[in-house]
Structure 1
């Protein structure tokens, strides 16, 4: 993609969307910044690629300081140990400076939820698609008050199956009784949690 060959200018753009087959790397972000869009105006990023690695998202977000909303299809750790990733200078810097408060991710497991919470400590709303086996662990982790979840106050888990909610109603009831949390089941395909 040769973005630097174009003289198109988008002076009032505040969202950026990356398609399914686009590889995101630092040079791409710099080319966009230099020729098309003021990255400091971007408040929402959507990444539709299923194979985006977490380290590239971190590098990209370091260049987009005012982003408040992030929408992802999935995250790849590309054989990187999560604790090693958290020790990188980019991760540490971004975790202290980013403004992201809303995240939507279609495919995520417990390890990636932990990374997201550690990277985005100002997170207020999290929307995840079906969690399968780690449902209870993720809910308990997010409800456990710690330094990185202190602003988080809502979680929406979307399912693609009516059976998913039926199988987890007992767990949802238990979570509701053990925590000061409100629960709403909007139809058969999701579960919305919110708390103070």
Structure 2
């Protein structure tokens, strides 16, 4: 997706494409933590096929924030998070 998405738009995408495995998009920075929590939620059956996320054009400071969010909320046990060329890549 070439544009910045809000939480509601991400929810709509997940509902339309429940077999989604890969998502590359910009995100509303005010909602990025809520979006990540939604996508990685263990109780969210609509995202259980998703295993890769690329957040486009995001400041590097979000790398640490998102890593801490995942750890403190126990959203994933095995994951990799990287910052490459202004994008954050997350695999789980």
Q: TM-score, normalised by structure 2?
A: 0.82
How far apart in 2 are the matches of 1:114 and 1:129?
14
Map of 2:65 onto structure 1: 171
- Give the strand-richer structure, 1 or 2: 2
Determine if the alignment matches structure 1 residue 131 to structure 2 residue 28: yes
Map of 1:116 onto structure 2: 13
Secondary structure at the counterpart of residue 47 of structure 2: coil
Q: Deviations over 1:156-176 (max 9, x none)?
A: 0011x6xx222x233222134
How far apart in 2 are the matches of 1:147 and 1:172?
22
The structure with the largest alpha-carbon Rg is: 1
**Stretches of structure 2 lacking an aligned partner (at least 5 in a row):** none
Q: Deviations over 1:132-169 (max 9, x none)?
A: 1111000010001322111111100011x6xx222x23
Map of 2:55 onto structure 1: 157
Conserved in 1, the CA contact under 8 Å of 2:63 and 2:88? no
Which one scores higher on RCO, CA 8 angstroms, separation ≥ 6? Answer: 2
**Stretches of structure 1 lacking an aligned partner (at least 5 in a row):** 1-103
Q: Deviations over 1:102-126 (max 9, x none)?
A: xx24221000100110111000001
How far apart in 2 are the matches of 1:131 and 1:114?
13
